[in-house]
Amino acid sequence: MPLVTSKEMFRKAYEGGYAIGAFNVNNMEQIQGIISAGQETNSPLILQISMGARKYANMRYLKALIDAGVADSGLPICMHLDHGDSYEICKQCVDDGFTSVMIDASRLSFEDNMALSKRVVEYAHDHGVVVEAELGKLAGVEEHVVSKYGQYTNPNEVEEFVGRTCVDSLAIAIGTSHGAFKFSGQPQLRFDILEEIESKLPNFPIVLHGASSVPQEYVELINRYGGNMTGAKGVPEDMLREAAKRAVCKINIDSDIRLAITASIRQYFCEHPDHFDPRQYLTPAREAIKQMVMRKIRNVLGSENKA
């Protein structure tokens, strides 16, 4: 099965009360682990590539790895640009064979955000590619995306934004944040804002960024084997599952995969100090990715057996 767009995925997810997991990938082990989890749970998948991943791995390598995995998977899989910050990078990704791109112009004014998003939409739609945009601003750090202070999405702006840009999905800010240190106090999502946006955009797919739950068992393993992640805290999985039952059709997960990999490798090195073959420690790391993604599909997204 070739790569697909997220359009049909989101339609089914909205109607079925579940979400599609959008998992960031940077290397072969991540791609293999995520696709293997999707196969075992029979779940559709979105594989996300950030601008940082493009620089780290070379887009041609990543595209070849994804194409190989997709060909053997039998699953509907979408390849998505995460946090594209310019028309040029979005255009390049469309030309490179992505089936979905995100234009993140949330740093700009409302009018400039709409103008840039609309320009990306016009090019992408002409080439059969769907577009995600962002309204509001998430706090936290994710590669080049840095914001000390978040800004909730204004529900009174969403109709005009979607109507004038013709984007296919909208990332909103309701209390999630980038990175592994999301909350200093009690985690809370603004479901009242989500509900108001739902009422203004019926049957329209909403996206949550910064939605890793930062499982404490991985934080504890990292700390036990020489790490220092004191205070790492994410979005509770029950809150994310509630969002997935509503209009949220795409939930982004990156930090949790990184935590699973790092915890596995740290533990392996401590238990096998004489080993130096990357295959020895990357094999259990790949399995840790698979188990993490399966957990998300079953407990958070609700997308098992939806492929």
Instruction: For residues 62-68, give the mean pLDDT.
Output: 96
Per the domain annotation, does 307 fall within a domain? no
Per the domain annotation, does 23 fall within a domain? yes
Instruction: For residues 123-133, give the mean pLDDT.
Output: 98
Q: Give the domain extent around 112.
A: 7-301
Per-residue pLDDT band at 176 (split at 50, 70, 90)? confident
Per the domain annotation, does 306 fall within a domain? no
pTM above 0.85, yes or no: yes
Per the domain annotation, does 173 fall within a domain? yes
AA letter at 224:
R
Per the domain annotation, does 124 fall within a domain? yes
Q: How far is CA 210 from CA 47, 111, 142, 152, in A?
A: 15, 25, 9, 13
Q: Quote the distance between the C-alpha of residue 45 and its chain's center.
A: 10
Looking at residue 147, its pLDDT comes to 46
Which one, of 81, 21, 85, 17, lies nearest residue 54 by Cα?
81
Instruction: For residues 36-42, give the mean pLDDT.
Output: 98
Question: Of 82, 85, 104, 256, which residue is the catalytic one?
Answer: 82
Looking at residue 149, its pLDDT comes to 52
Looking at residue 141, its pLDDT comes to 45
Query: Which residue did the predictor score with more confidence, 137 or 185?
Result: 137
Going by C-beta distance under 8 Å and a sequence separation of 6 or more, which residues neighbour residue 147?
Answer: 137, 138, 139, 140, 178
Looking at residue 150, its pLDDT comes to 62
- How far apart are the C-alpha atoms of 251 and 278, rounded to whole Å? 31
Per the domain annotation, does 1 fall within a domain? no
Percent of the chain with pLDDT over 70: 93
Per-residue pLDDT band at 183 (split at 50, 70, 90)? low
Instruction: For residues 223-246, give the mean pLDDT.
Output: 93
Per the domain annotation, does 188 fall within a domain? yes
- pLDDT for 133-170, tens place per residue? 999 987 654 455 444 456 899 999 999 999 999 999 99
Phi-psi region at 231: left, alpha or beta (left = phi > 0; alpha = psi -120 to 50): left
Q: Can you tell me which residue has the tokens 């946006």?
A: 197
- pLDDT for 73-117, tens place per residue? 999 999 999 999 999 999 999 999 999 999 999 999 999 999 999
Domain count, the chain: 1
DSSP string of 55-79, one letter each residue: HHH-HHHHHHHHHHHHHHH-S-EEE
Is residue 213's pLDDT more than 70?
Answer: yes
Per-residue pLDDT band at 214 (split at 50, 70, 90)? very high
Query: Which residue did the predictor score with more confidence, 120 or 235?
Result: 120
Q: Looking at 8-12, 207-211, 231-235, 262-266, which range is the least confident one?
A: 231-235
CATH number, residue 205: 3.20.20.70
Is residue 57's pLDDT more than 80?
Answer: yes
- pLDDT for 278-287, tens place per residue? 999 999 999 9
Is there a catalytic annotation at residue 82? yes
SS3 46: strand
Per the domain annotation, does 111 fall within a domain? yes
Looking at residue 287, its pLDDT comes to 98
